[in-house]
Amino acid sequence: MKLVIIGGVAGGASAAARARRLDEQAHIIMFEKGEHISFANCGLPYHVGGVIEKREDLVVMSPERFRARTNVDVRTAQEITAIDPAAKTVTVLNRHTGESYKESYDKLIIATGSSPKKPEIPGIDDTDVMVMWNMSDMTDVKDRVNDGIKRALIVGGGYIGLEMAENFRHQKIETVLVQRSGQLMSVIDPEMASPLSDCLVKHGVKIHFNTTVVRICRQSIGKDDEKTELLVELSSGKTVKTDIVIVAAGIRPNSELAAAAGLALGDKQGIVVNEYLETSDPDIYAVGDVIEVMETVINRPSQIPLAGPANRQGRTAACNALGGKSEFKGAIGSSICKVFDLTVGNAGPSEKILRKEKIPYLKVYLNPFSHATYYPDAKQMHLKMLFSPEGRILGVQIVGRDGVKERIDVMATAIQTYLSVYDLQDLELSYAPPYGSAKEPVNYAGFVAVNMLEGKTVQVCADAIAENAFLLDVREKSEFKAGALPGAVLIPLGQLRSRMSELPKDSGIVIYCQVGIRGYIAERILRQNGFNVKNLSGGYVTWKMFNASKEQ
């Protein structure tokens, strides 16, 4: 068996290592057009910021160590320029010598990954307009930081854009972020992204929402023609002066090789694969950012460019290329990102996606604390859960300063294993005051959702309050004075039973408190006394997230 793998890093290197563990006799060749077969690309921004001090710490496995450990024929700086499925050969360009040669294969795994998109705008090819994608990119940006740059502009507010903003600020660099849409982190919903905007602004990042870059040019600084700066013209009409531009405006799959070889591509130009990661040619497999995978919740192909799925795909493809029948069961896009002192995590589709796909859903908002509030340093989280009218958990998003990852991981497991909100409320999860609460947030999300499905509560979200609704605030007077919904009437929960005569019975009442718990108690009281009431999901805290200012 001769197995050829195109590309290293998460998908390709995992496939090569797994293939060797499965078959000691197989002839395995891994081609990598760069110098590094396995590096921590997710850690690149943190070296720029000085959090990861040593560049070499990001090299997970050198070619030499990989060869010695796996007996895989690793060929770096050798680029595959063509695939001939009929002859079962690949054409290889040695980037050091310029020579080309052909290599045969019995089975082929394509792990060519993806590349950053660069918008077609004047000035985009300036040497100080950079991306953050590989070790070479990181070195170029780090060199400019070491040169003493004072200003940076970032195009794009996704994972890389946010991480670069944080790490530039760690280096005391004045940072501007330009975002095409009205929110950061497009994989989550706008209201859940609002704390991220607040966090960036608090740490000195200037954000331009609903804005694109239209032109980049250079101008001399003062009378010295040798010293120049970049001028970035924005669609808003504003111009920003900067020393460096980082483009983090999305990615595209590196599927040109596959397309030229006649392999089927999907709508977004990712390679089409089946559950065994076979392409349209049964002797060719593909893994990682270059492929389309089934997004299991919405049951349609999608591109999910994340390291975790790529590693698992590499294992699956290696097994099947060597005669196995292992299935890749799809993905739900579980991810997490650090943004200064905040953490944002998600699993499953967002509300935006569910609406687009016309999938029926309900939603609930919670604002629990990371652990028992009587134990020091409890931090509030913001949780949004989406579920079907039958109770299946569809998606979750959490933003907070502590406790986010463990809750996202539990919810991701629940989504992947098709648990319902009824199951969620019954999960037995560990508890001690430093780590959680007796009423664990994951369980609590189940409690609220089940109450909704069983009619014990009728919730309304901040984006669906009727204009003529009677707004009832059941918090304390001090809370009301600190901020309230416009037009709301205050009746603290402890006074509600004695003041029900002040409430209308001929119109709908929307009750709210700080996070929803007192609102639910008030709803139960009033509902059993004949009032038409709804509880504001997530309370005043979530309402503020929906109504956050976009003036950044």
Residues involved in catalysis? 42
What does 503-523 look like in DSSP terms, one character per residue? S-SSS-EEEE-SSSHHHHHHH
What does 149-193 look like in DSSP terms, one character per residue? --EEEEE--SHHHHHHHHHHHHTT-EEEEE-SSSSS-TTS-HHHH
Alpha carbon distance 253, 244 (integer Å): 26
The β-bridge relationship of strands 533-536 and 509-512 is parallel
Alpha carbon distance 136, 35 (integer Å): 10
Judge contact between 105 and 3, C-beta under 8 A: yes
Judge contact between 475 and 514, C-beta under 8 A: yes
Alpha carbon distance 232, 154 (integer Å): 11
Look at the block and give the residue holding tokens 């502590």: 402
Q: Please, which contacts does 444-447 make with residues 24 or more away whose CB atoms are closer than 8 Å?
A: 444/366, 444/368, 445/364, 445/366, 445/383, 445/385, 445/396, 445/411, 445/421, 446/421, 446/422
* Helices and strands counted in the chain (H then E): 15, 33
Neighbours of 469 (CB within 10 A): 17
SS3 per-residue string spanning 398-457: EEECCCHHHHHHHHHHHHHCCCEHHHHHHCCCCCCCCCCCCCCHHHHHHHHHHHHHCCCC
Alpha carbon distance 322, 320 (integer Å): 5
Residue (of 42, 180, 160) closest to 119 by Cα position: 180
> Tokens at residue 71, please?
């007996």
Half-sphere exposure of 287 (CA within 13 A, CB side): 34
- Provide the residue type at 178 as one letter: V
Residue (of 372, 343, 380, 362) closest to 514 by Cα position: 380
Judge contact between 123 and 111, C-beta under 8 A: no
